[in-house]
């Protein structure tokens, strides 16, 4: 008989829930969780310049008091690309030689399925009778992340929900399941700089004002090191991701040049201090008569870190006992929905190896899904046995 987490994962993969299309994937989860005693609430958020998103909040309160654990995850997936490039249909959830294939197999329908499978196991054993377990599941992590986890948690907070600790089921392991968990993430800031000069004939530069030399000096200024890293974070890095003049002609000096950049910043900075530093560097560049305009693009994702002690240390203890290795505490990688949760309680990302996420032929060993689900069950039982923070 298939492990419940594996069967559930197959059902989830077969729903092509490419952001923000829900495709029935939350129906599958609600049908799985409701018989286990979870009160499920479906919430649809929209507005703020983004598309409508369907979300699920599920809570099971035990008969005895205890701590409150939040599990967060997403059911949306990135597009599969050209399905002809896949060895197996990306929404078939086919299993070949012990490996399940499909979009979302690692990122991160496997994490959601593993946690839900753990809940079934604990419910059958009477392991959910103390404390509270909640799930916050969104279908908008891979794209805008505007009408998903952020608003779901705001809704829960308005109802008086508080959490002692949270796990996000994103892939966090490197080479072997459980060798790493993520206790923080760098922040992210994107910007656009426009340098405006005067268009003219390349043979008569005295009649024009080329913005390109100024743009080159701006790039040089931006690339000066921002910091040397901190105890838990690698150095902040700024990357210019685009330079465009919109000029197809070889003999025309362009009127303007636009630079796009992204900064991944550590806890040396806040969004405000980093913006001030960028402005200061721009102000120090000789403009040569050109106009320089800077604008922030999109919201700033905050940098966060969860204290390595307390619940984080306890999770590491349980992982070491379960898996034979103690996970490293990591903060590498891009942003995740953990940045929203960090405003409410300590949070970690704890999941499978993410080697094939977002790739053609995304896949996951079935045994890893089972192993993750069994770990979640063991950890939740240990967590609910602790006193509330």
Which 3 state secondary structure label does DSSP give 22?
coil
Which 3 state secondary structure label does DSSP give 307?
coil
| CA-based end-to-end distance of the chain | 39
Q: How far apart are CA 78 and CA 328, in angstroms?
A: 28
Predicted local distance difference test score (pLDDT) of residue 387: 52
Q: How far apart are CA 189 and CA 183, in angstroms?
A: 20
Residue ranges and CATH numbers for the domains of the chain are 4-185+303-384 (3.40.630.10), 188-296 (3.30.70.360)
Q: How far apart are CA 6 and CA 24, in angstroms?
A: 18
Contact 12, 25 (CB under 8 A): yes
Tokens representing 3 are 């492990």
Contact 122, 30 (CB under 8 A): no
Q: Which of 11, 22, 54, 141 is catalytic?
A: 141
Which 3 state secondary structure label does DSSP give 31?
helix
Contact 106, 13 (CB under 8 A): no
Predicted local distance difference test score (pLDDT) of residue 335: 83
Predicted local distance difference test score (pLDDT) of residue 80: 96
Cα 31 to the chain's mean position, in Å? 26
**Known catalytic membership, residue 320:** no
Beta strand 130-138 pairing with 50-61: antiparallel
Give which of 256, 239, 137 is closest to 188, Cα–Cα: 239
Cα 135 to the chain's mean position, in Å? 16
Binding residues: 74, 107, 142, 170, 358
Torsion of CA 230, 264, 51, 14, to 10 degrees: -80
- Omega before 20 cis (within 30°)? yes
Give which of 335, 263, 253 is closest to 294, Cα–Cα: 263
Could you read off the pLDDT tens digit of each residue along the chain, which spans 389 residues? Answer: 689 999 999 999 999 999 999 999 999 999 999 999 999 999 999 999 999 999 999 999 999 889 999 999 999 999 999 999 999 999 999 999 999 999 999 999 999 999 999 999 999 999 899 999 999 999 999 999 999 999 999 999 999 999 999 999 999 999 999 999 999 999 999 999 999 999 999 999 999 999 999 999 999 999 999 999 999 999 999 999 999 999 999 999 999 999 999 999 999 999 999 999 999 999 999 999 999 999 999 889 999 999 999 999 999 999 999 999 999 999 998 888 999 999 999 999 999 999 999 999 999 999 999 999 999 999 999 999 865 44
288 CB-near residues (< 8 Å, 6+ apart): 209, 213, 214
Q: Residue 314 — left, alpha, or beta (φ > 0 → left; ψ -120 to 50 → alpha)?
A: alpha
Binding residues for Zn(2+): 74, 107, 142, 170, 358
Q: How far apart are CA 375 and CA 172, in angstroms?
A: 14
Predicted local distance difference test score (pLDDT) of residue 376: 97
Strand partners, 256: 196
pTM of the model: 0.89
Predicted local distance difference test score (pLDDT) of residue 389: 46
Whose structure tokens read 């630079």? 259
- Other beta carbons within 10 angstroms of residue 75's beta carbon come to 27
Q: How far apart are CA 347 and CA 193, in angstroms?
A: 35
Beta strand 187-196 pairing with 256-265: antiparallel
Predicted local distance difference test score (pLDDT) of residue 385: 86
Predicted local distance difference test score (pLDDT) of residue 388: 47
Cα 107 to the chain's mean position, in Å? 10
Tokens representing 231 are 């105890």
Q: Which of 11, 76, 267, 349 is catalytic?
A: 76
Q: How far apart are CA 172 and CA 289, in angstroms?
A: 49
**Known catalytic membership, residue 141:** yes
Tokens representing 191 are 């910007």
């Amino acid at each position: 008989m298939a492990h419940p987490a594996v069967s559930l994962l197959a059902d989830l993969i077969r729903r092509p829930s490419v952001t923000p299309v829900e495709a029935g994937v939350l129906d599958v989860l609600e049908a799985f969780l409701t018989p286990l005693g979870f009160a499920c609430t479906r919430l649809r958020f929209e507005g703020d310049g983004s598309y409508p998103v369907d979300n699920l909040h599920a809570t099971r309160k035990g008969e005895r008091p205890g701590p409150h654990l939040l599990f967060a995850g997403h059911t949306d997936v990135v597009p599969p690309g050209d399905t002809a490039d896949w060895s197996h249909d990306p929404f078939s959830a086919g299993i070949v030689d012990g490996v399940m294939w499909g979009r979302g197999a690692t990122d991160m329908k496997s994490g959601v399925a593993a946690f839900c499978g753990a809940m079934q196991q604990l419910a059958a054993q009477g392991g959910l009778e103390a404390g509270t377990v909640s799930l916050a599941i969104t279908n908008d992590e891979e794209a805008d992340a505007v009408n998903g986890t952020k608003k779901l948690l705001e809704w829960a907070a308005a109802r008086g929900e508080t959490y002692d600790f949270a796990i996000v089921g994103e892939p966090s392991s490197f080479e072997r399941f459980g060798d790493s968990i993520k206790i923080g993430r760098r922040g992210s800031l994107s910007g656009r700089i426009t340098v405006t000069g005067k268009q003219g004939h390349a043979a008569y530069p005295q009649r024009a004002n080329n913005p390109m030399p100024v743009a080159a000096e701006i790039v040089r200024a931006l690339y000066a090191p921002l910091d040397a890293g901190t105890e838990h974070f690698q150095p902040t890095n700024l990357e210019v991701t685009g330079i465009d003049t919109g000029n197809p002609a070889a003999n025309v000096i362009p009127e303007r040049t636009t630079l796009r950049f992204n900064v991944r910043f550590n806890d040396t900075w806040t969004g405000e201090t980093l913006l001030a530093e960028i402005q200061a560097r721009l102000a120090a560049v000789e403009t040569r008569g050109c106009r320089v305009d800077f604008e922030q693009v999109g919201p700033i994702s905050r940098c966060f870190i969860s204290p390595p002690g307390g619940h984080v240390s306890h999770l590491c203890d349980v992982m070491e006992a379960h898996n034979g290795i103690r996970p490293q505490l990591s903060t590498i990688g891009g942003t995740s929905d953990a940045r929203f949760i960090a405003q409410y309680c300590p949070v970690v990302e704890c999941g499978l190896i993410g080697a094939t996420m977002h790739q053609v032929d995304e896949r996951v060993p079935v045994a890893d899904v089972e192993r993750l689900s069994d770990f979640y069950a063991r950890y939740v039982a240990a967590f609910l046995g602790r006193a509330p923070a």
